[in-house]
Amino acid sequence: MTTFLEAIGRGFTTWRDDVDSAAAELPVIGSLFARDWRILRFETGKVTYTNTAGDSIDIATTEETAIARAEIARMGKKGPLVLRIAEPLGFCRTASFPVAARKHLDEAVELALPRLSPLPASDIVFAADLTQIEESSGRISLPVSIIRRTTLEAALDRAASLGLEPAAVDLENERDGIAPGLDLRDGRSAPSAGRSAFAFAGIVCGIFLIATVGLLIDRTLRLDPAHADAHRPASLEARLEAAITHAEDKAQSGSAVAALADLSRRLPDGAYVTSFAYDEGSVRISGLAWDAAAALRALDSAEEFTRAAFDGATVRDDETGRERFELTARHHLSHADDGS
């Protein structure tokens, strides 16, 4: 299980470094992610520490560790550190392969080590610079940095003794700049992003995720119910169903249901009841209509209703555009109902 988790961790670190390296090479915003590197140059008999301002100090192997650490702390330890192996302790070779080997360059370089270096393969640490691939006449070539494994271990031990933890280990060469191109510890491209583009993207995605979840919760708990209330169908059937339920509780006889049925039949199109009260033949209703006066006339001219009159002024409803009205009337069973 531990090995599996370590593999996942290494894969995640590699992915993060690849994203940061790619971001640092972007044409416009790449400078935002560029690193100011410190350098610890390792050579026989001494190391040279250089801070981000370019100030350097030589530290001999015989110098006391406590004094060396104090000098490094005085110069500053801000910025990532590259452990740079001096050129005499390693060498760079150009490896050439058929174009077909492009997808398996690490394996191809490993097989080519006997002709690239006189050192025994078991004591070799190498890193191929995949960013410097050149193609010509059906073949590809790229530089390969090679050092002894014992040299790498000695350099890492020296850095650790000085309280330094390198972000990359590379071989000194003539390329421009001080940023490492490779990391000899794992043979991959060295991380080049200072402000981590991966972390920045993760923070932005996290903010968007939190905002999205918050909006969904707000919509579920607040907006959806409010939207449903605001856009509930204002059909006569839906309103009458609620009115009938209310009437069944209030009605003292079956005439309340008959009054509702007559209302639904006599009210003009576009008019509907929002509340209904029935008391021994007296009907009090509230409702909405495009023309409240027309609704009143329709009831007044119906044989089932008499003494229809508004019980207050009509008011235009801003939400629906209809007139809100209240009226009272007397309800009588029609002759058709009497005969049934």
Residue ranges per structural domain of the chain: 29-200, 236-339
Number of neighbours of residue 12 by Cβ within 10 angstroms: 11
Residues in the chain: 340
Per-residue pLDDT of 22-48, as tens digits, reads: 666 667 666 566 667 889 999 999 999
Copy the structure tokens of residue 204: 């932005």
pLDDT at residue number 313 = 81
May I ask the CATH architecture of the domain 236-339? 2-Layer Sandwich (3.30)
What's the N-to-C CA distance of the chain in angstroms?
84
Confidence of residue 187 (pLDDT cuts 50, 70, 90): confident
Q: Given a cut of 80, is residue 245 above it in pLDDT?
A: no
Confidence of residue 331 (pLDDT cuts 50, 70, 90): confident
* Residues 152, 169 contacting (CB under 8 angstroms): yes
Whole-prediction pTM:
0.49
- Most confident listed range (6-10, 163-167, 224-228): 163-167
CA angle 29, 35, 40 (to 5 degrees): 165
CA distance 259 to 272: 14
CA distance 295 to 169: 90
Sign of CA dihedral 63, 65, 70, 72: positive
Q: What is the rounded average pLDDT of the residues 84-103?
A: 87
pLDDT at residue number 252 = 44
Using alpha carbons, list the distances in angstroms from residue 196 to 23, 88, 164. Answer: 9, 33, 21
Confidence of residue 248 (pLDDT cuts 50, 70, 90): low
Among 50, 43, 45, residue whose Cα is nearest residue 60: 45
Confidence of residue 193 (pLDDT cuts 50, 70, 90): very low
Q: Per residue, what are the HEC states of the chain?
A: CHHHHHHHHHHHHHHHHHHHHHHHCCCCCHHHHECCCEEEEEECCEEEEECCCCCEEEEECCCCHHHHHHHHHHHCCCCCEEEEECHHHEEEEEEEEEHHHHHHHHHHHHHHHHHHCCCCHHHEEEEECHHHCEEECCEEEEEEEEEEHHHHHHHHHHHHHCCCCCCEEEECCCCCCCCCCEECCCCEECCCECCCHHHHHHHHHHHHHHHHHHHHHHHHHHHHHHHHHHCCCCCHHHHHHHHHHHHHHHCCCCHHHHHHHHHHHHCCCCCEEEEEEEECCEEEEEEEECCHHHHHHHHHHCCCEEEEEECCCCEECCCCCCEEEEEEEEECCCHHHHHC
What percentage of the chain reaches a pLDDT higher than 70?
A: 75
Residue type, 216: L
What percentage of the chain reaches a pLDDT higher than 90?
A: 14
Q: What is the rounded average pLDDT of the residues 182-191?
A: 75
Q: What is the rounded average pLDDT of the residues 60-86?
A: 90
pLDDT at residue number 174 = 64
Per-residue pLDDT of 127-173, as tens digits, reads: 888 778 888 888 999 888 888 999 999 999 999 999 999 988 888 87
For domain 29-200, is the CATH number 1.10.340.30? no
